[in-house]
C-alpha cells in the first residue's frame, strides 16, 4: 500500500488572506491615530511571511516603533488562529482535484496538521473535505492542547500516525513548512515540500526536503513516478 500524509494549510488550504486580514487588524489596533504608517500590500506582506521575516520586523516596516512592534506580534499571535478569521481561508487551486485523484488511485491518504480538532472540523465542513479523510486518517491537535513549537509538536503527531496507521510499502509526507520537513525526517519518511504555502523556495531548500514541487498535484505525480521504480 502506498501512503501520502499531507499537511492541511498550504497544500490544501490557502491561508494568505487570513494572515493578511489579521495583519491589517493588528496594524489598525496598535497604531496611534496621528501616526504615519505604511500599510503593506498583500503581495508585499506575503513575500515577507514566506521568507520568515519576523513579525516585529513586519511591524516596523509598516511604520510602528519597537514597543508597538512587540504589541503587534503578540496581538497577531493571539488572533490569527481564531474565528472569524478562519473564514478568510480558501482552497488552494487544484487541491481538491489532487485529493480526488489520490482517492481514485487507491493511495492511502491521511492529513496531519497543527490545527485543533474544532478548526479542522470547521474547514472540513465548509469545503466538503471530510470525504477524503475518515476519522482514523486525521491527525491534529486536541482542542485543549498546549502548543510549544510546530517543529516540536508535529514530530509527535508523526510518531502517533506511524504507530496507528496500517503498514505501507511507501510513505510520503507533503507539506509547506520546516515543521513538516522536520517531522518526516525524524521518522525516516520521505518528504515533498510544496511552494504553494507559507514558505518560499529558499526557506524550503534550507531545510533540505527530498523534493520541492509547486503543489499537491505535482507531489502526487512525483509519488507515482517514484512508486513505479519500486515495482
Give the model confidence (pLDDT) of 181-193 as tens digits.
999 999 999 999 9
- Give the whole-number percent of the chain exceeding pLDDT 90: 96
Residues 149 and 103 in one domain: yes
The proportion of the chain whose per-residue pLDDT surpasses 70, expressed as a percent, equals 99
User: Is 136 in the same domain as 47?
Assistant: no
Say yes or no: 206 and 112 in one domain.
yes
Burial class (CB in 10 A: 0-12, 13-18, 19+), 64: buried
pLDDT tens digits, one per residue of 14-55: 999 999 999 999 999 999 999 999 999 999 999 999 999 999
Do 185 and 123 belong to one domain? yes
pLDDT digit string, tens, across residues 88-109: 999 999 999 999 999 999 999 9
Say whether both 97 and 190 belong to one domain: yes
Q: What is the pLDDT of residue 230?
A: 59
Residues 215 and 112 in one domain: yes
Kindly give the pairing relationship between strand 190-194 and strand 211-213. Answer: parallel
Cell numbers placing 204: 524550503
User: In the prediction, which pLDDT does 103 show?
Assistant: 96
Q: What are the DSSP E strand ranges found in 43-120?
A: 90-91, 108-116
Q: How many angstroms separate the Cα of 17 from the Cα of each of 46, 90, 142, 190, 212?
A: 9, 8, 25, 30, 24
Q: Are residues 128 and 148 in the same domain?
A: yes
Predicted local distance difference test score (pLDDT) of residue 146: 87
Which among 87, 109, 142 is the end of a domain? 87
Reported pTM: 0.95
Q: At what angle do helices 150-164 and 178-186 cross, to 10 degrees?
A: 40
Asked if the model's pLDDT at residue 147 lies above 90, the reply is: no
Per-residue pLDDT, 228:
75
Number of domains in the chain: 2
Query: How many Å apart are CA 3 and CA 171, to the nearest integer?
Result: 5
Report yes or no: 31 and 37 within 8 Å, Cβ to Cβ: yes
Confidence at residue 231, expressed as pLDDT on a 0 to 100 scale: 45
Q: Residue 47: give the domain boundaries.
A: 16-87
Residue 19: in which H helix or E strand, if any? helix 16-30
Q: Which residue, of 54, 87, 120, is where some domain finishes?
A: 87
Pairing mode, strands 90-91 and 13-14: antiparallel
Q: What is the CATH number of the domain that holds 120?
A: 3.40.50.1000
pLDDT, position 47: 98
Supply the pLDDT for residue 227: 86
Tell me: do 180 and 69 sit in the same domain. Answer: no
Distances (CA, A) of 166 to 1, 100, 108: 9, 21, 10
- In terms of domains, do 128 and 200 share one? yes
Last residue of a domain, one of 58, 87, 116: 87
Amino acid at each position: 500500500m502506498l501512503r501520502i500524509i499531507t499537511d492541511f494549510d498550504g497544500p490544501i488550504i490557502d491561508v494568505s488572506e487570513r494572515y493578511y486580514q489579521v495583519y491589517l487588524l493588528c496594524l489598525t489596533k496598535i497604531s496611534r491615530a496621528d501616526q504615519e504608517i505604511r500599510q503593506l500590500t498583500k503581495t508585499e506582506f506575503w513575500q515577507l511571511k514566506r521568507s520568515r521575516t519576523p513579525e516585529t520586523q513586519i511591524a516596523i516596516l509598516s511604520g510602528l516603533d519597537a514597543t508597538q512592534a512587540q504589541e503587534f506580534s503578540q496581538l497577531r499571535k493571539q488572533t490569527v488562529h481564531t474565528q472569524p478569521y478562519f473564514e478568510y481561508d480558501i482552497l488552494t487551486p487544484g487541491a481538491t482535484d489532487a485529493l480526488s485523484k489520490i482517492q481514485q488511485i487507491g493511495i492511502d491518504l491521511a492529513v496531519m496538521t497543527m490545527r485543533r480538532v474544532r478548526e479542522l472540523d470547521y474547514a472540513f465542513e465548509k469545503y466538503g473535505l471530510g470525504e477524503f479523510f475518515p476519522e482514523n486518517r486525521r491527525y491534529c491537535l486536541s482542542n485543549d492542547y498546549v502548543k510549544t513549537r510546530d517543529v516540536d509538536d508535529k514530530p509527535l503527531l508523526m510518531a502517533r500516525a506511524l504507530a496507528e496507521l496500517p503498514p505501507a510499502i511507501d510513505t510520503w509526507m507533503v507539506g509547506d513548512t520546516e515543521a513538516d520537513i522536520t517531522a518526516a525526517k525524524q521518522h525516516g519518511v520521505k518528504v515533498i515540500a510544496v511552494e504553494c504555502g507559507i514558505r518560499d523556495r529558499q526557506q524550503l531548500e534550507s531545510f533540505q526536503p527530498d523534493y520541492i514541487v509547486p503543489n499537491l498535484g505535482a507531489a502526487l505525480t512525483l509519488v507515482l513516478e517514484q512508486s513505479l521504480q519500486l515495482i
